[in-house]
Amino acid sequence: MVTTYYTEDHEWIRVEGGVATVGITDYAQEQLGDLVFVELPEAGRKLSKGDVAVVVESVKAASDVYAPADGEIVEANTALSSDPALVNSSPAGDGWLWKMKLSDDSQLSGLMDEAGYKAMIG
């Protein structure tokens, strides 16, 4: 079973086979507007929960995307280099930002499920 978790900073994290895929929520991309640039992280970079992993730039502003848990980046979504609008059109699908190997699965227990996230954004 694949479970998706959400953060208060509007990231989602989906864990499958020990690898977590991270992106921003549909709500977040709506708030940002049309993305024009995504600064992708490098594979091998180690992140601690709360670290800035990615910077996304829209026509309105630049915004940080934070690591929802500790881990090491194994892949960045290079398709976003040429087509950052994928984050707008498919934030929970083709617009994912990076994949990471988690170093502490227990950190996921502090995150929200979909119902909790929807209640937060009201």
pLDDT of residue 42: 95
- pLDDT reported for residue 2: 80
Residue 80 gets which letter from DSSP?
Answer: H
Which tokens hold the place of 42?
């490098």
| Cα-Cα-Cα-Cα dihedral sign, residues 67, 69, 73, 74 | negative
Three-state secondary structure call for residue 26: helix
List the domain boundaries for the chain: 3-117
Query: In the CATH hierarchy, which fold is given to the domain comprising 3-117?
Result: OB fold (Dihydrolipoamide Acetyltransferase, E2P) (2.40.50)
pLDDT at 97: 98
Structure tokens at 100: 């990471």
The series of mean pLDDT values per 10 residues for the chain, 122 residues long, is: 92 93 97 96 97 96 96 98 97 97 94 97 95
